[in-house]
Structure 1
C-alpha cells in the first residue's frame, strides 16, 4: 500500500523528480538482488567509454561503513576501499578506471556533488546503479533487469518475497533485460506480460571468464569448495559447474555480509577436511581485499575467483546500445567553460 501510494504521488506530480543537465540512465530491478545488475552496469560503462564519453556512476554503496556522498574514483585514482564504498561499487571502479564513481544514499545529492565537483569537466552521462525505485531524480532511460529463473509476477512483496514494489510498477521501465537465460529458462514466459504492456525487451545470459588464482593453484585437484555472500547463489553455482568445476562443498552467506575471522576459519576447516581448493565470486574477492589479514589467511589454501560478464543474444545488443545512444544524445549538454 505504501509503495503504491508513493508511486501514485510521483505519477501525479505531487512528489517531484529533480532534473540535472546531463543524460541520466538508470539500471535497476524490481526484485531484491540476483538479477546480475552489477555486471550489466559494468558492461554499459565500458560501452559508454568506448564511445569516447566519460560516465559517472552513482551508487548507494550497499554495505559500506560510510554515509553521505563520497567520491570513490575521480576517473584517475581509486580513493576508497570496499569497506568505505561497498564491494560492488569498488569492483565497478576497478574495472573502469576512467569512470567517475560516487556513492550516495540520495542519488540527487550525488548528482549535485558531480555538478559542483566536476563543474569544469562534467561527465557525459550519469549511470544510476540500482535506482529504479529511487524516483527523486529524473532519468532519460529506465532499464530494469529480470532474472529469467524468477518470473517477477510470481513473486511476493518484501519481506514475504523478493519484490521491492508491486508488479505493475515495471510499466515505468523503458527497457527490460531478461538476464541469466539458459537452456531451462528461455524467458518466453516473461516476455508475454511485458509485450502486453508494450515494454521493449532484450535477452542476455551469463558468460564466465577464466579462473583467476589469488593464492596457489589447484593443480590436478579439480574439487572445490564454493563460497560467497550474494543474492541467488544458485546462479553462481550453476556457472561454476558449467565451467567444469567439481563443487564438492558450498558455504553461502547473506548478500554483502561482512566476512569475519570466524567465517573464514569455518570455510578453511571445511576445505581442509575434504582437501578442497576454494572458489568465490569476483565481488567477494574485492570485499576480502579490504581485510588483508583475512585474505592472507585464505590464500594459504588454493584460492580462485570466477569473473562473469553478460552476453546479449543476437539483436538485443543493438537494441540496448541504440537506446543508450538515444538517451545520451537527447539531453542538451551544458556549457561548462569557465
Structure 2
C-alpha cells in the first residue's frame, strides 16, 4: 500500500492525468496559503555567517533531481571538504559523523543511503548527517573542513552560502500541495541555476554486466532511468530510500530467472553485503568549468 501511494503521488506531482490535474486545481487555495507561509518565513529570516564557506546544491521540487551525483562530482575536486545533509531515510536521529575523511564510522542504516554514497565515492571528505544543517556545518568546521557542500540546502535561508540550483522542469508548475515545488526563487534571493546537458552531463556505465539482469531500484521517479537502461528481463520499483531485505531480492531473482540484479549505486550501498550477484548502473557527471569557477569565485570572496 505504501509503495502504491508513493508512486501515485509522484505521478500526481510530475505526470498528472486528467483526474489528478483537476485535483491539483482544487488544492490551489491551500497552495496559496503554503506559498505565503514559506515566503513570510523567507522574508523574516536573517542570514548567519558560520565562518566557513558553504556551497549548497539544491532544487526547488520534491523528488530526485541529480543532487547527489552533482555534489559528488564537485566535492571530488576540492581539498579539506565536508558534505552535510539531512540523511533522509536513515533509522537514526540527531547528528552523526558518517565519515571523518579517513574511515567510515557507521552503517548505512545509521547514515542513510545518500550519505553512504558520499562516504564511499568521496573518501577524503568528512560526511555528516544532521536534521539541523547548521549543527552539521559547525561540526565540519570543528573537524578541520575548509569548504562545506550542503546537500539540498536552498531552503536553509538562514545559512550564508552559495546557492547552486538544479533547474528541474515539470508539466505541473504549482507549489505544494497542487504541484511538486517546495519553493520558488524569491525576489532578492541570489541563486545560480544549473541545467542538465548545459552545465553538467551524465555518463552512465554498468559494472558487472550480465546477459539477464533484473532492474531493482528505490529512487524517486525511477522512470528517469529508462533512457540509460540496457535490456533487462524485468523492472521492480520500490519507494525512495526503501531498505531492501535479502529475501525479497532473492525472490525477485528467482521469479525473473535473472543472473544478476541491476541497481543504482544508491541501492547498492544498502545491499552490497547480501551476497547476491549485483550489476551496478553507475553514474558520473561531466561538469562544465563555469560551475567550478562559480565556486572558486565564491571562496575567494568575488561574489
TM-score range, shorter chain: 0.7 to 0.9
1:282 aligns with 2:282: no
Q: Could you tell me which residue of structure 2 aligns to residue 322 of structure 1? A: 293
Provide Cα deviations, 1:123-153, integer angstroms capped at 9, x if missing partner.
Answer: 11111011111223221x1011134xxx247
What is aligned with 2:75? Answer: 45
Relative to structure 1, the CA distance from residue 248 to residue 160 in structure 2 (aligned partners, 3 Å threshold; closer, same or farther) is: farther
Tell me how far apart the structure 2 counterparts of residues 88 and 111 of structure 1 sit (CA, whole Å).
Answer: 17
Alignment of 1:205-284 (within 5 A): 205-209=201-205, 211-213=206-208, 218=210, 222-240=211-229, 245-261=230-246, 263-272=248-257, 275=258, 277-284=260-267
Against the structure 1 CA distance between its residues 133 and 266, is the aligned structure 2 distance closer, same or farther, given a 3 Å change threshold? farther
Cα distance change, pair 146–270 in 1 and its aligned pair in 2 (3 A): farther
- 1:258: how far off? 1.5
Q: CA deviation at 1:18?
A: 2.4
What TM-score comes out, normalization by structure 2 length? 0.81
> Is the Cα contact below 8 Å between 2:173 and 2:179 reproduced in 1?
yes
Contact 1:271 1:277 in 2 (8 A): no
Count how many residue pairs are aligned between Structure 1 and Structure 2.
Answer: 270
Over aligned residue pairs, what C-alpha RMSD do you find? Answer: 2.2
Describe the superposition over 1:36-71 as per-residue Cα deviations: whole angstroms up to 9, x where unpaired: 1100000110112xxxx3111111011111111111
2:175 alignment partner, SS class: coil
Conserved 8 A contact 2:61-2:182: yes
**Pair 2,238 (structure 1): closer, same or farther in 2 beyond 3 Å:** same
CA distance in 1 between counterparts of 2:99 and 2:294 reads 27
**1:309 and 2:263 matched:** no
User: Aligned with 2:242: secondary structure?
Assistant: coil
For 1:36, which of 56, 66, 82 is the aligned residue?
A: 66
Question: 1:233: Cα distance to partner?
Answer: 1.2
Structure-1-length-normalised TM-score: 0.73
